[in-house]
Amino acid sequence: MLGWNVVVKKSEFQVGDLCVYVEVDAVLPERLEFEFLRARHFRIKTIKLRGQVSQGICFPLAILPPGTFTDEGTDVAEILGIKPYIAPVPANLSGLVKGGFPGFLRKTDEMRIQAVPGVLDRARGKVFYVTEKIDGSSVTVYWNAGSPHAGRPRPPDVWGRAPSVSVRATSNSWNRKGTPSGKRLGRSIWKTG
């Protein structure tokens, strides 16, 4: 399925059948048809079934509400209430996280080639760049002029002092505490930034 190995029930699908494929690191809603995933907190993970690696899960189109447009490639995540998995703050970051990723910044990410099967065909004959997505840490560094929205200066305080200006860093999911000149300089996120 899109380059991923997926174990399905014998005879549930025939070659060429359309299905609903749910990627690894997706969370399905707490609904009766997904109850078998409760022990996994409704999260889709890479697992081994009878010695075979399964990277996601497939459902028949009957899982969709009647009348749903089902052309190949249609994204039905919102219709089914499927959300991306967001990891809780790891214990080793306890006290180091200021909050979630700042909403005023745009997240950047590279698509998995398996999730966009026709992209190479559409790019054939065009100039494009190729990157490799490697497991590791993502970092975004931004300037904060004392406002949650960079670029909107804050007025001086009651004593006439200018607002503090600082550099902030985030991982892919978390706005980090500390500054590059502060006591957390040794943290990998600041070394990267």
User: Do 33 and 123 reside in the same domain of the chain?
Assistant: no
Looking at the structure, do residues 117 and 187 belong to the same domain, yes or no?
Answer: yes
Highest mean pLDDT among 18-22, 110-114, 164-168 belongs to 18-22
Same domain, 103 and 182: yes
DSSP at 190? H
Q: How many domains does one find in the chain?
A: 2
Residue 113 in contact with residue 119, Cβ under 8 Å? yes
Q: The tokens 């100039």 sit on which residue?
A: 127
Asked if pLDDT for residue 185 goes beyond 50, the answer is no
Sign of CA dihedral 87, 91, 93, 97: positive
The closest alpha carbon to 171, from 84, 91, 93, belongs to 93
Of the listed ranges 7-16, 30-39, 94-103, 155-164, the one predicted with least confidence: 155-164
Within this chain, do residues 187 and 95 fall inside the same structural domain, yes or no? yes
Which comes out higher in pLDDT, residue 188 or 24?
24
pTM: 0.59
How distant, in Å, are the alpha carbons of 77, 148, 157, 162 from that of 143?
34, 10, 19, 15
Q: Average model confidence (pLDDT) for the chain?
A: 76
Tens digits of per-residue pLDDT, 53-90?
Answer: 999 999 999 999 998 888 888 889 999 999 988 777 66
One domain, residues 24 and 106:
no
Specify whether 91 is located in the same domain as 54: no
| 137 touches 171 (CB < 8 A) | yes
Residue ending a domain, among 84, 104, 134, is: 84
**What pLDDT band is residue 41 in, cutting at 50, 70 and 90?**
very high
Q: Are 101 and 122 contained in the same domain?
A: yes
CA 64, CA 77: separation in Å to the nearest integer?
A: 10
Residues 77 and 161 in one domain: no
Do residue 99 and residue 65 come from a single domain? no
Look at residue 30 and tell me whether its pLDDT is greater than 90: yes
Lowest mean pLDDT among 22-26, 63-67, 126-130: 126-130
Mean pLDDT of 157-174: 64
Judged against a pLDDT cut of 70, whether residue 109 lies above it is answered with no
pLDDT (mean) for 34-52:
91
End residue of a domain, out of 42, 60, 84: 84
pLDDT at 31: 92
CB 127 within 8 A of CB 121: no
109 and 68 co-located in one domain: no
Residues 103-121, mean pLDDT to the nearest whole number: 73
Task: Clarify whether residues 61 and 106 are in a common domain.
Answer: no
Query: Which candidate, 75, 74, 71, places its Cα nearest to that of 83?
Result: 75
Closest of 185, 10, 172 to residue 101, by C-alpha:
172
Domain, as residue range, for 58 = 20-84
Same domain, 100 and 58: no
Domain assignment present for residue 1? The answer is no
